């Protein structure tokens, strides 16, 4: 049964990647559609990441503090390792505070 599940997921993944290549063979010239497609990866990443941020810690306050630090450092154009390190340290320090 597990092989059937793997086969179904392989076909599904293949179709998701193959269909746009076969259906849309001409270059997209419409400026609105191009702008929309440009922001799709950012929207998907945000939709997957933000909920995980708030449910991965023991306390939502520590998650919000780490998220705030990450937003501030990201806005100041810090590198990803720096942002991740400071956000994790912030969550750790806030979790140490008894609430």
pTM of the complete model beyond 0.75: no
* SS3 assignment for 10-77: HHHHHHHHHHHHHHCCCCCCCHHHHHHHHHHHHHHHHHHHHHHHHHCCCCHHHHHHHHHHHHHHHHCC
> With contact defined as beta carbons under 8 Å apart, do 70 and 87 qualify?
yes
pLDDT of residue 37: 83
Q: Which two tokens stand for residue 76?
A: 């100041």
pLDDT in tens, 75-92: 999 999 999 999 999 999
């Amino acid at each position: 049964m597990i092989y059937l599940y793997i086969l179904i997921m392989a076909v599904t993944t293949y179709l998701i990647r193959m269909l746009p290549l076969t259906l849309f063979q001409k270059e997209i010239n419409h400026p609105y559609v191009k702008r929309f497609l440009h922001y799709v990866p950012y929207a998907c990443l945000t939709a997957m990441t933000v909920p995980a941020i708030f449910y991965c810690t023991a306390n939502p306050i520590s998650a919000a503090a780490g998220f705030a630090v990450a937003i501030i450092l990201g806005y100041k154009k810090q590198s990803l390792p720096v942002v991740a390190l400071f956000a994790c340290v912030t969550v750790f320090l806030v979790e140490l505070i008894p609430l």
